[in-house]
Amino acid sequence: MVRQVKQKPMNWVERLYVFEALRGLFTTLKHALRGLLRYETLPTVPYPEMKPEIPRNYRARHRLMLRPDGMPRCVACGMCAAACPAHCIYIEAAETEDPRIEKAPARFDIDHLVCVFCGLCVEACPVDALRMDTCETSYVHPKRDDFVAPMFDLMTWDPKTYPQNDSQSQMAPGGTLNQQALDAWGMKVN
Ligand code: SF4
Ligand code: SF4
């Protein structure tokens, strides 16, 4: 639908342009002086010296949730890869020894240089195995290949970032706390 914006006709002062140009310069000067004299009142953050606070529901780096035995909750159904508009999730399924679980990922990589952080993979996952609530928005690697996060990296997110009493971030469906799962797996991250 076309939306028409009604413009107010200029009065004779505005049509002279000189006063409007001076008003614009005054605004520029005001912001420049504020940056020099009252830096702390600016609505910007001096990144990277100061990191902005990332909301918990921000779509950041992915993590894979774990089962009580430490294995990924992922059942290698491929729905996240199918939903991904950037085609940057690479999954290889394998059989498991557990008769209750048909498949598990043998490989689960996400190329974070190709990812557009849309979150569709998280929405598509039927078992809540994939989340993007790590608040990790800035990571630097010397090589392009290093931006491909393998399954192990996606599974070993740091519990320090997620307090044990924060059930939203710690618990996968079924109530498994991440540290319990990692302990069962025989490794400690913190
Ligand atoms: S966030 Fe979007 S682009 Fe990135 S892996 Fe998920 S579906 Fe693909
Ligand atoms: S992360 Fe979820 S959607 Fe993706 S393959 Fe695993 S179970 Fe399926």
pLDDT of res. 189: 46
Q: Is the omega angle on the peptide bond into residue 52 within 30 degrees of 0, that is, cis?
A: no
Q: Give start and end residues of each alpha helix (H) in 78-174.
A: 79-83, 120-124, 151-155, 167-170
Pick the more confident residue, 111 or 101: 111
Over residues 67-95, the pLDDT tens digits come to 777 788 899 999 999 999 999 999 999 99
Collapsing DSSP states into helix, strand and coil, what is residue 39?
helix
Looking at domain 63-185, does it have CATH number 3.30.70.3270?
Answer: yes
Over residues 10-34, the pLDDT tens digits come to 999 999 999 999 999 999 999 999 9
C-alpha 110 – ligand 2 centre gap (Å): 12
For the Cβ of 127 lying below 6 angstroms from any atom of ligand 2, the answer is yes
pTM for the whole structure: 0.72
Q: Whose CA is nearest to atom 2 of ligand 2?
A: 125
Q: Measured between alpha carbons, how far is 65 from 151 in angstroms, rounded to an integer?
A: 11
Residue 155 pLDDT > 80, yes or no? yes
Q: Measured between alpha carbons, how far is 116 from 113 in angstroms, rounded to an integer?
A: 8
C-alpha 134 – ligand 2 centre gap (Å): 18
C-alpha 37 – ligand 2 centre gap (Å): 52
